[in-house]
């Protein structure tokens, strides 16, 4: 396995943890700012970073 694949998998895994944290915060009635912050971090980790890595690797290969 390449380092890019490991980095992508780790990013998505951590993103799902943040997504779960956002959901748990919502269920426990935490502040909206905390919920949206966790959700925004999750979106970046699940979508933006893997797409950036895929495009970067595809353009250099």
> What are the 10-residue block averages of pLDDT along the chain, 61 residues in total?
92 98 98 98 97 88 68
pLDDT of residue 58: 77
Taking the whole predicted model, whether its pTM rises above 0.95 is answered as: no
Q: For residue 44, give every residue at least 6 positions away whose Cβ sits within 8 Å of its Cβ, in sequence order, or none.
A: 15
Residue 54 phi, psi dihedral angles, 5° rounding: -65, -45
Q: Which two tokens stand for residue 3?
A: 């380092």
Residue found under tokens 């956002």: 22
Cβ contact 49:23 at 8 Å = no
């Amino acid at each position: 396995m390449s380092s890019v694949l490991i980095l992508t998998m780790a990013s998505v895994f951590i993103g799902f943890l943040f997504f779960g944290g956002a959901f748990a915060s919502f269920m426990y009635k935490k502040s909206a700012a905390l919920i949206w912050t966790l959700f925004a971090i999750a979106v970046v980790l699940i979508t933006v970073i893997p797409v950036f890595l895929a495009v970067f690797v595809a353009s250099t290969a």
